[in-house]
Structure 1
């Protein structure tokens, strides 16, 4: 499982054998069963987490018991609650496995130490954070401006790999629409 993470790093940056070993020494491998929590609302998130296999979702549950999915993450993606990680405050979110999943975790202190000691890793992380910020801006803009159909079509265009792995009710929650609306949109777009 760690080898998947090492391959990811090798594809992105050049590391010396000593740097690779330093990173490996700080890594903790974790397996999650389908529906198992990685993080529960109210707990403090303390890790930088990389998915080597599987799919997870980040979501909240409102006072009416309705789930609001804010994101999905699959292989070669990072996941976690950045706000809780940086503030040390309890998370407002849950993260659980949609599929059996495997992750590589680093305590935040160890990850910060690695980024400080390995400039290439630090640069890679900064690029990921910049892309993540842009993706969040685009998601907010779509949520405010797009019709339900436009949201769905953009989701399929950007995240086609998710379409067959994630239940439709979860996709609807992510898009901020009802499962019935998503079903109708899917039927309409299939006819086009």
Structure 2
């Protein structure tokens, strides 16, 4: 059984990239850290990933009354509607917190949750708002991992935001979340 996951994020580092290869008349796909983490945690699952940049998520309700969604909730709503319409099993909505302030981080998370909540009978919605190192978000959401089937939640680090290490030590294995 194939699981379809839609990833909406900011750029290639998060979501990967897709380049056309004219020799093969096909696309070469380089996955981002989100796909790599999901595949590492659940290697036995047959997963198809699709990506959309958040800036591509737009409304087509010209002339109609717009929903009263603020901040990231509007784009999260559009991402969830797209996932529902196109038959995805889950949607990962990623946005950088760009702050270590807990209240601002919680506000961004709540905006995304409220956008997801406006969609009835929606697929699984996973909110991704990394505080410091974007790769560490995935390691911190044990409820989402449990829903995806991870049996031993102790395999996840208890403080994933603290494992990014010093930038000058990027070559040390395990000192960066994307090497975890």
Instruction: Report the TM-score, using the length of structure 2 for normalisation.
Output: 0.28
Which protein is bigger by CA-based radius of gyration? 1
Instruction: Report the TM-score, using the length of structure 1 for normalisation.
Output: 0.27
Select the structure with the greater relative contact order (CA < 8 A; seq sep ≥ 6). Answer: 1
